[in-house]
Each structure stands twice: as structure tokens, then as C-alpha cells.
Amino acid sequence: MDYRTIAGTDLKVSLFGFGNFVFGTNWWGDFTDEQGISLQNFAFDQGVNFFDTSPAYGNGRAENLLAKTIEYAGRDNVVVSTKFGYDFYKDPGKEGGHRERPQNFTPEFLEFDLEQSLKRLNVDCIDLYQAHNLKLPDFADDIAQSMEKFQKQGKIRYWGVALGPAIGWREEGYKTFNEYDASVVQTVMNMYEQDPGREFCEICEARGRGGVIVRVPTNSGILDCEFKNADHQFAPNDHRKFRDKNWLVYGLKKNEIIAPIAEQYNCSIRQFAFKWLASQPAMASIEPNLLNEQDVLDFAAAADGKYLSEQILSQIDELYRRDFDLGEDAHPCDWKSSTTETGTIRSSYQKPVASC
């Protein structure tokens, strides 16, 4: 297992991280408590030490499950990350629902939210505390002040921002690093949706501190080779039914182009996609969807410290720049944005500016 220290911190995290969001909703199927804990423990046994959760996942359920794995592994052997900002206490939502619930980033709620997470996780201190899907209008100095207060109290060690829920939020990522000097940004990033994630990586590299945590590393299942054809029918509770059809149609075509390149590394397409992410600057940890022990074994094998050559990276960069020569419809989907009238913006790369 490859372990990486997030620059500017003393957090040494497994490159392959376990995000237990799949236990907080039925979007990926139903797991009993025993099944969830067993899978987490199995991941720890394979070398995973970074576990990322949130009180919003199952209204506290995912944190409760992680507490059992912390007990199994021993507190000093794991790096614990959770999030803050969703007030499910007042609005529990509907199981399996896709509606984003109200957020609360006031100092009073943050203090309450932190205490509840500490209790559920059964720990005295959280290693990494992330503002959950913080949007530009909600950035406020008193959030950073609350984080500094919690650090002084010994209740958290470092903090950052998890961007979402969809891909995008460029301005939020820039602000997190350049203005708030936070330790991490978590974002959607994968070989078929590279930006703005790689911009955040470049900011960290230029500043010499900070790291990027990635979720959705397999492009919502495309790079897992989960779908056999473009006529795949999604279950009613599957969040991917909301994605643009071109994502599926052209994702399958991109896989055909990537497959022979992956074969050069004797790995599957999803392992190759993991290695591509691992080769990016300032990459701290990658969190695939993990549904069974084979998923854990596949990604643990990919996190072996042997990644992609500069030649292959350049080849992928060029393919991406040209939309894999598949035409305009193969361009990555639009992002969400806090700065446009429509709330979306066309996917693109811009050279980021990093503050020191």
C-alpha cells in the first residue's frame, strides 16, 4: 500500500481511501450493519488506514459503522475523516432520496455537529474535518475561526472542504486553498472528468502544501466496465439515471480506446484509471465505491506505488484534450457553478493561480 503525507500536515494516509458513503443510502444496494463493518475491517486488513465518512450519510449511520472499525483497528492505526454542515437533525430527508437537505454553517451549529460526530465515532479528536458541499455564498470567516477554535481545543487536527454534490465548483476549490489555506479539497475527478480537479492539484503543488482527495474515480461506473451497452436501464433509486446520456454512450467508446493502453500495465481499466489519478501531483487519497471484497482487492493492488510513465500520461492528456477524437458530444458534462446565471458552466481547463 502506498501511503502519502498531505503536504503541510503530519497526516500519512493510504492512497487508497475508504469512503463509506455507500452505507448511508440505498443508491448502491442495501448493506446490513454487519456487512458494512466487515467490509471496512477487510479494507483495513489490506492496508487502508484512511477512512472518510459524514454525519449526513444515513443520518449518522455511517459514522456509527466507522466507529466499529476504529475499535477493530485501534485508534492510532487509522486516520479518521468526517464532515460538517448538513442539518439532518431538523430535516432527516427520505431514505434513498436525491434532494439536498438544508445546510447550516453557523458557529453554533458547527459546535453542535462536531460534538455529535465525536460521540458517534467514539473518538476524542477527528484527524480531518471537511465542510460538506460548501458553496461560495456560504464561505465565511467564522467557519475558519470555528476550525481554529476546534484545533486549539484538540477536537480536530486539520480541516478542508468537500466540494459537491456534483462535479464542478472551481471557485470554491480555489478559495479553499488560496484564501483559507485549508489542508484538503475533496472533489469529483477521474480520467474522463479531469477538471477542475487537476487545477486543484496544480495549486497544491505550486503552494507546496495541501492535498486533493478524489471521489468518483471511475466516472460513475464507466471505468469499472459496469455497463455492457448504451441501453443500460438504471434502477429507480440509482442516482446515475440523472446523468446525460452521452456520458454512457461515449464513456463506453472511450473505454475501447483505453483498454489496450491498460493492458500494457497488466491491469484492468479501473485499476489503470486509479493509477492515472495516483500519478497526478498532490494526490492524497482516492475513494472508489466499494461494494464487496473484490473491489477492495482490486484497488489495493492498484495502489502499489507503480504508476504511469510520463509518456503514457502525455498520451492520455492529448486524448482528453481532443475528446478522444469522438467529437463534441464526447466532451465531459457541464459542471455546477456558483458564479453563472444558469448554475452550470462548460467543462474546461484553465491554468490556476496559486497564492503563497
pLDDT at position 97 is 57
Cβ neighbours for 58, distance < 8 A, ≥ 6 positions apart: 23, 24, 25
Is 356 a member of any domain? no
- Number of domains forming the structure of the chain: 1
Is 355 a member of any domain? no
What CATH number should be reported for the domain holding residue 174? 3.20.20.100
Element (H, E) at 83: strand 79-84
Is 352 a member of any domain? no
Mean pLDDT by 10 residues, the chain (356 residues): 97 97 78 94 98 92 97 98 92 64 93 97 98 95 97 98 94 97 98 97 97 97 92 83 90 97 96 98 97 97 95 97 97 95 96 86
pLDDT at position 126 is 98
Is 279 a member of any domain? yes
Residue the block writes with cell 484538540: 154
pLDDT at position 31 is 84
Is 353 a member of any domain? no
pLDDT at position 23 is 87
Cβ neighbours for 210, distance < 8 A, ≥ 6 positions apart: 6, 7, 8, 177, 182, 183, 184, 185, 203, 204, 282
Cell readout for 36 is 458494512
Is 330 a member of any domain? yes
Domain that holds residue 94: 3-345
Spell out the alpha helix ranges (H) of the chain: 33-45, 61-73, 107-121, 141-152, 170-178, 197-207, 245-263, 269-278, 293-302, 310-321
Is 354 a member of any domain? no
pTM over 0.85: yes
What are the tens digits of pLDDT across the range 223-279? 999 898 998 888 877 888 888 899 999 999 999 999 999 999 999 999 999 999 999
pLDDT at position 93 is 66
What is the rounded CA–CA span in Å between residue 234 and residue 52?
27
